[in-house]
């Protein structure tokens, strides 16, 4: 006991790693500009929601940064501040919004078209929404076959398009007197591309921009422009964008954080809640069949096999990583995993996701679980957008984090976390949650929590 007491008071205790860098985080002064490629259902639901919360007519349900608390110290210390009071985050009234879209609709028109929020609510936030008009987009129909719009930039090369985006970014910052910016992709899912030589290094990528290389997608041009301007970039879609050698090195070079891809919302959220539980109790899995119907523009885009392939890759990888069949061959070797998305217009944003899960227990006896999640896609995604922009801005202001490039602690929010080459991603929501909160404690100079708890029994 004496040894343990000594350890508890000593900085060398492995369970009490401490740093004290809270003071080195730049305060969140001035305006934070949120730049969004893709002003569709998710982004307008996010912006309308922030404005409704600012007006005091709605609550930020689903947002960890706004509603969550964090335990500090021992359970007996009873210190559990709200995250937004613990961390030096930008306040909601410091946020300003802008973005790009291939359609000319302002955000009020786009939100009305998306039919996620009720007309009454939209009317109350109309002044802000109708003031946000999309800048001309960088678009390539080869990457999103189902869409075509008039509000598109023209230039001789992809490098010229990147330069135009950089001008937009600087212009937005100056016009809105922003102190800092964050970019978050809420545009459509692009056609599948595997990483190739043109994505491998910054030199190859820049040469490819100048030569109009066909494997450089619009989302990569936005990301390149943001990172060149030192602006953090988050990716709400499963597109191959920043998970390439080229953009990872640009991110590190310019202290502009990047994170995972594809918001973890409906069915995959459920999967990453259920699968860790089955594995924790050593229950086997023989098959997991997931199907969805949704009727938004996103659903229409995903009806194209090339865009669906990008989404499918993102959705499928989750179970392999959580269940680790190589460690548990008796339980998870050869489980069958199928994911389907069907475009069904009558449902709009009110997606329905069905899961049939075939599991087995003691002595191999089979059982079934059925999940029928009647969710609302953009309602689940909007608070993730809010958390990500606030936390990416925090990462940019935190010396210990901003030079890392990938912010793996934000994997909690993504279907496809990004990791450095050779490091497998954590998909288990509970591991991700612990990593997220321990990173917050760490940068604020608080002790990390291991849940060992032996000290309560001394």
Ligand X SMILES: NC(=O)c1ccc[n+]([C@@H]2O[C@H](COP(=O)([O-])OP(=O)(O)OC[C@H]3O[C@@H](n4cnc5c(N)ncnc54)[C@H](O)[C@@H]3O)[C@@H](O)[C@H]2O)c1
Binder of ligand X out of 236, 257, 276, 353 (CB under 6 A): 236
HSE of 1 in the Cβ direction (CA atoms, 13 Å)? 4
Cα 336 to chain centroid distance, Å, stands at 27
Tell me which residue of 153, 151, 185 sits closest to 34, measured CA to CA: 185
Closest approach of ligand X to the CB of residue 420, in Å: 23
Instruction: Go through 11-49 and write b for each residue having 16 or more CB atoms within 10 A of its CB, e for each that does not.
Output: eeeeeeeeeeeeeebeebeebbbbbbbbbbbbbbbbbbb
Q: Does 106 engage in binding with ligand X (CB under 6 A)?
A: no
Cα 241 to chain centroid distance, Å, stands at 13
Q: Does 387 engage in binding with ligand X (CB under 6 A)?
A: no
Binder of ligand X out of 65, 66, 188, 350 (CB under 6 A): 188
Cα 84 to chain centroid distance, Å, stands at 19
Handedness of CA 142, 144, 145, 150 (dihedral sign): negative
Count of residues near ligand X by CB under 6 A: 35
Alpha-carbon distance of 171 to 165, in angstroms, equals 10
Alpha-carbon distance of 436 to 391, in angstroms, equals 10
Choose one: 295-303, 315-323, 355-363, 366-374; the region binding ligand X (CB under 6 A).
Answer: 295-303
Q: Does 48 engage in binding with ligand X (CB under 6 A)?
A: no
Q: Does 262 engage in binding with ligand X (CB under 6 A)?
A: yes
Q: Does 377 engage in binding with ligand X (CB under 6 A)?
A: yes
Binder of ligand X out of 111, 114, 181, 269 (CB under 6 A): 114
By three-state DSSP, how is residue 396 classified? helix
Q: Does 298 engage in binding with ligand X (CB under 6 A)?
A: yes
Q: Does 37 engage in binding with ligand X (CB under 6 A)?
A: yes
Cβ neighbour number for residue 275 with a 10 Å cutoff: 22
Q: Does 381 engage in binding with ligand X (CB under 6 A)?
A: yes
Choose one: 157-165, 199-207, 262-270, 339-347; the region binding ligand X (CB under 6 A).
Answer: 262-270
Q: Does 117 engage in binding with ligand X (CB under 6 A)?
A: no
Cα 88 to chain centroid distance, Å, stands at 20
The neighbouring-strand residues paired with 339 are 290
Instruction: Output 198 or 221, the one with its CB closest to ligand X.
Output: 221
Q: Does 297 engage in binding with ligand X (CB under 6 A)?
A: yes
Site string for ligand X, 422-451 (x = CB under 6 A): ------------------------------
Q: Does 380 engage in binding with ligand X (CB under 6 A)?
A: yes
By three-state DSSP, how is residue 126 classified? helix
Instruction: Output 37 or 284, the one with its CB closest to ligand X.
Output: 37
Determine the number of helices (DSSP H) and then strands (DSSP E) in the chain: 19, 11
Please give the residue whose beta carbon sits closest to ligand X in the complex. Answer: 40
Q: Does 308 engage in binding with ligand X (CB under 6 A)?
A: no
Q: Does 292 engage in binding with ligand X (CB under 6 A)?
A: no
Q: What is the CA angle 270-437-279, rounded to 5?
A: 40
Binder of ligand X out of 28, 34, 38, 90 (CB under 6 A): 38
Binder of ligand X out of 101, 168, 229, 355 (CB under 6 A): 101
Q: Does 41 engage in binding with ligand X (CB under 6 A)?
A: yes
By three-state DSSP, how is residue 443 classified? helix
Choose one: 49-57, 139-147, 159-167, 242-250; the region binding ligand X (CB under 6 A).
Answer: 139-147
Q: Does 147 engage in binding with ligand X (CB under 6 A)?
A: yes
Alpha-carbon distance of 34 to 393, in angstroms, equals 10
Which residues form the interface with ligand X (CB under 6 A)?
37-42, 100-103, 114, 137-139, 144, 147, 149, 186-189, 218, 236-237, 262-263, 265-266, 296-298, 377-378, 380-381
């Amino acid at each position: 006991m004496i040894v343990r007491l000594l350890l508890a008071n000593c900085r060398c205790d492995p369970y009490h790693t401490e740093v004290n860098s809270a003071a080195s985080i730049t305060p969140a002064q001035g305006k934070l500009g949120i730049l969004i490629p893709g002003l569709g259902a998710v982004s307008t639901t996010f912006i309308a929601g922030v404005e409704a919360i600012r007006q005091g007519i709605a609550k930020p349900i689903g947002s960890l940064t706004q509603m969550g608390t964090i335990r500090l110290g021992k359970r007996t210390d009873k210190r559990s501040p709200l995250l937004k009071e613990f961390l030096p985050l930008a306040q909601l009234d410091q946020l300003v919004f802008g973005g790009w879209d291939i359609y000319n609709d302002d955000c009020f028109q786009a939100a009305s078209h998306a039919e996620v929020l009720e007309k009454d609510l939209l009317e109350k936030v109309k002044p802000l929404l109708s003031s946000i008009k999309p800048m001309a987009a960088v678009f390539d129909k080869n990457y999103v076959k189902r869409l075509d719009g008039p509000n598109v930039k023209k230039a001789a090369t992809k490098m010229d398009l990147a330069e135009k985006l950089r001008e937009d970014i600087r212009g937005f910052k100056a016009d809105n007197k922003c102190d800092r910016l964050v970019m978050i992709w809420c545009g459509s899912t692009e056609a599948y591309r595997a990483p190739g030589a043109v994505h491998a290094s910054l030199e190859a990528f820049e040469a490819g921009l100048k030569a109009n290389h066909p494997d450089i997608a619009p989302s990569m041009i936005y990301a390149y422009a943001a990172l060149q301007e030192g602006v953090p970039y988050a990716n709400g879609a499963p597109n191959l964008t920043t998970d390439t050698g080229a953009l990872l090195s640009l991110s590190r070079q310019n202290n502009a954080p990047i994170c995972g891809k594809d918001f973890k919302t409906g069915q995959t959220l459920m999967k990453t809640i259920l699968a860790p539980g089955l594995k924790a109790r050593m229950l086997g899995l023989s098959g997991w069949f997931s199907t969805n119907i949704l009727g938004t523009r996103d659903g229409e885009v995903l009806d194209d096999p090339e865009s669906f392939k990008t989404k499918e890759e993102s959705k499928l990888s989750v179970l392999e990583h959580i269940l680790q069949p190589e460690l548990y061959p008796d339980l998870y070797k050869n489980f069958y995993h199928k994911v389907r998305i069907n475009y069904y217009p009558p449902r709009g944003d009110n997606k329905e996701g069905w899961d049939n899960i075939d599991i087995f227990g003691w002595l191999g006896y089979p059982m079934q679980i059925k999940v029928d999640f009647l969710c609302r896609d953009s309602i689940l995604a909007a608070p993730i957008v809010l958390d990500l922009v606030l936390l990416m801005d925090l990462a940019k202001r935190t010396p210990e984090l901003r030079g890392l490039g990938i912010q793996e602690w934000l994997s909690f929010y993504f279907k496809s976390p990004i990791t450095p080459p050779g490091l497998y991603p954590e998909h288990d929501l509970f591991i991700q949650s612990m990593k997220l909160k321990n990173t917050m404690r760490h940068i604020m100079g608080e002790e990390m929590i291991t849940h060992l708890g032996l000290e309560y029994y001394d």
